[in-house]
Amino acid sequence: MKPSLPKGTRDFTSEQVLKREHIFTTIKEVFATYGYAPIETPAMEALATLTGKYGEEGDKLLFKVLNNGDYLAKANAEALEAKDSDKLISSIAKRGLRYDLTVPFARFVVMHQNDLQFPFKRYQIQPVWRADRPQKGRYQEFYQCDADVIGSESLIYEAEFLQIFDTVFSKLNLKVNIRYNHRQILLGVAQYAGIEDKFVDMTVALDKKDKIGDQGVLQDLDYRGVDQEAAIKVLELVNETDPAVFEAKVSTTPAGAEGFDEIHQIQTYLSNYSPTNTFTLDPTLARGLSYYTGCIFEVESTETPMGSIAAGGRYADLTSLFGMPNMSGVGISFGAERIFDVMQTLERFPSELGNVLDALILPMDPESLGPAFDLASKLRAGGKQVDIYPKAAKMQKQMKYANARKVPFIIIIGEDERASGMYSLKNMLTGDKQETSLEELHSII
Residue 217 binds a second copy, judged by CB under 8 A: no
Q: Any idea what the Cα angle at residue 360 is, between residues 354 and 365, rounded to 5°?
A: 155
Phi, psi of 59 (to 5 degrees): -55, -40
Helix (H) or strand (E) holding 34: none
Residue 42 binds a second copy, judged by CB under 8 A: yes
Residue 46 binds a second copy, judged by CB under 8 A: yes
Q: Confirm if 266 and 295 have CB atoms less than 8 A apart.
A: yes
Q: Confirm if 191 and 253 have CB atoms less than 8 A apart.
A: yes
Q: Any idea what the Cα angle at residue 241 is, between residues 237 and 243, rounded to 5°?
A: 85
CB of 296 to a second copy, least distance (A): 19
Q: Which stretch binds a second copy (CB under 8 A): 46-54, 231-239, 309-317, 415-423?
A: 46-54
Q: Give CA–CA dist 253/118, Å, rounded.
A: 33
Residue 17 binds a second copy, judged by CB under 8 A: yes
**Residue from 135, 215, 272, 443 that binds a second copy (CB under 8 A)?**
272
- Interacting positions 304-343 with a second copy (CB under 8 A): 321-323
Three-state DSSP at 154 gives coil
User: Mask of contacts with a second copy, 21-40, x by CB under 8 A?
Assistant: x----------xxxx-xxxx
CB of 227 to a second copy, least distance (A): 40
Q: Give CA–CA dist 138/145, Å, rounded.
A: 16
Q: Judged by CB, which is closer to a second copy: 228, or 385?
A: 385
**Residue from 73, 244, 419, 429 that binds a second copy (CB under 8 A)?**
73
Q: Give CA–CA dist 199/16, Å, rounded.
A: 43
Burial of 291 (0-12, 13-18, 19+ CB in 10 A): middle
Residue 427 binds a second copy, judged by CB under 8 A: no
- Interacting positions 353-412 with a second copy (CB under 8 A): 356-357, 360, 369-370, 373-374, 377, 380, 383-388, 390-391, 401, 404-405
Q: Confirm if 385 and 406 have CB atoms less than 8 A apart.
A: no
Neighbouring C-beta atoms of residue 394, cutoff 10 Å: 9
Residue 135 binds a second copy, judged by CB under 8 A: no
Return the exposure string of 47-62: e unless at least 16 CB atoms fall within 10 Å of the residue's CB, then b: bebbbebbeeebbeeb
Q: Any idea what the Cα angle at residue 157 is, between residues 151 and 163, rounded to 5°?
A: 155
Residue 70 binds a second copy, judged by CB under 8 A: yes
Residue 63 binds a second copy, judged by CB under 8 A: yes
- Interacting positions 149-168 with a second copy (CB under 8 A): 152, 154, 156-157, 159, 163, 167
Residue 32 CB partners (closer than 8 Å, separation 6+): none
Residue 171 binds a second copy, judged by CB under 8 A: no
What single-letter amino acid sits at 118? F
Three-state DSSP at 149 gives strand
CB of 174 to a second copy, least distance (A): 18
CB of 333 to a second copy, least distance (A): 18
Q: Confirm if 428 and 416 have CB atoms less than 8 A apart.
A: no
**Residue from 165, 192, 260, 269 that binds a second copy (CB under 8 A)?**
269
Residue 140 binds a second copy, judged by CB under 8 A: yes
Residue 230 binds a second copy, judged by CB under 8 A: no
Cα torsion 238, 242, 247, 249: sign? negative
Residue 237 binds a second copy, judged by CB under 8 A: no
CB of 254 to a second copy, least distance (A): 24
**Residue from 26, 27, 64, 220 that binds a second copy (CB under 8 A)?**
64
Residue 223 binds a second copy, judged by CB under 8 A: no
Q: Judged by CB, which is closer to a second copy: 291, or 401?
A: 401
Residue 435 binds a second copy, judged by CB under 8 A: no
Q: Judged by CB, which is closer to a second copy: 60, or 433?
A: 60
**Residue from 57, 83, 241, 396 that binds a second copy (CB under 8 A)?**
83
- Interacting positions 103-132 with a second copy (CB under 8 A): 107-108, 110-112, 115, 117, 119, 121-122, 127, 129, 131
- The gap from C-alpha 147 to its chain's centroid, in whole angstroms, comes to 10
Residue 251 binds a second copy, judged by CB under 8 A: no
Instruction: Tell me the angle at which helices 254-269 and 183-192 cross, rounded to the nearest 10 degrees.
Output: 150
